[in-house]
Amino acid sequence: MSVRTFSEVTPAWLTALLTEHGSLIAGRVLRVEQTRDPNPITQNATLLLTYSPDARGACPDRLFFKQSPQAAEARFYQKIAPTLAHSAVPVCYDAHWENFLYPHDPIARNPYLIDWAVRHVNQGVGDLAYNIALQCYPERRAWIEQPLIRRYHARLLANDIHDYVWAQCWEDHRRMVIEQCVWPIVWYHFHLSPNVWWFALECTLAAFEDLHCEEFL
């Protein structure tokens, strides 16, 4: 029961989908409002749902919808994502702050990382380098970089990965910073606003210099 375009996201389709997955026991979806992401690359929308008075069940009033022409990404969400809590996690490679769904109650629920369209297998710190080196000016990066990467390394140790010392983790992060230098070029090629690619270029080149990444070239 899949759809490919925003126009196919109708109350009838949502009613059938939520009923199938047990989130709607009775009643139906009366109306759905779409708020689309203005980013020209992404095809995302927040869905606001209104139900009939007799609706029962979880009845979520807000959903996230991504329109993707890539069948492989849909298969990832259907087959791989449900098992991630019990297996190795591939690199998302688009792990910026806006691709996290943050719970209203962080104690009761976990955050979710979305948009796995360009996922692949790589160094796990690659997602951290993407989020930190590519998205933060030096002042902010200096504040969060070491704590976040040390937290990442500590979680690896806590999950029985003991042959990955801190020095190697930090070196891998520096190497992955080099890879982030490509993204501003890609975004320029896709005619994104200079507010996007120039900002990323400044952040990434500053990280490249601060972390002495030229040592690896």
Domain ranges of the chain: 1-67
* pLDDT, tens digit, 9 for 90 and up, residues 129-171: 999 999 999 999 999 999 999 999 998 899 888 888 999 899 9
* 80-94, 100-114, 170-184: segment of lowest average pLDDT: 80-94
Among 54, 63, 59, 60, which residue's Cα sits nearest to residue 24? 59
Q: Which helix (H) or strand (E) holds 80?
A: none
Model pLDDT, residue 206 = 96
| Residue 116: Cβ-neighbour burial (10 angstroms; 0-12, 13-18, 19+) | buried
Predicted confidence band of residue 121 (pLDDT cuts 50, 70, 90): low
* pTM confidence score: 0.61
* 84-88, 124-128, 184-188, 212-216: segment of lowest average pLDDT: 84-88
- Give the C-alpha distances (Å, rounded to integers) separating 63 from 24, 31, 35, 60, 71: 14, 13, 11, 7, 21
* pLDDT, tens digit, 9 for 90 and up, residues 66-94: 776 556 556 655 665 554 443 345 677 77
For residues 33 and 48, the answer to whether their CB atoms sit within 8 Å is yes
Model pLDDT, residue 211 = 96
Model pLDDT, residue 49 = 94
> Given CA atoms 140, 145, 151, 155 in this order, what sign does their dihedral have?
positive
* pLDDT, tens digit, 9 for 90 and up, residues 29-67: 999 999 887 665 567 788 999 999 999 999 999 888 877
For residues 156 and 172, the answer to whether their CB atoms sit within 8 Å is no
Whole-number average pLDDT of the chain: 84
Model pLDDT, residue 125 = 86
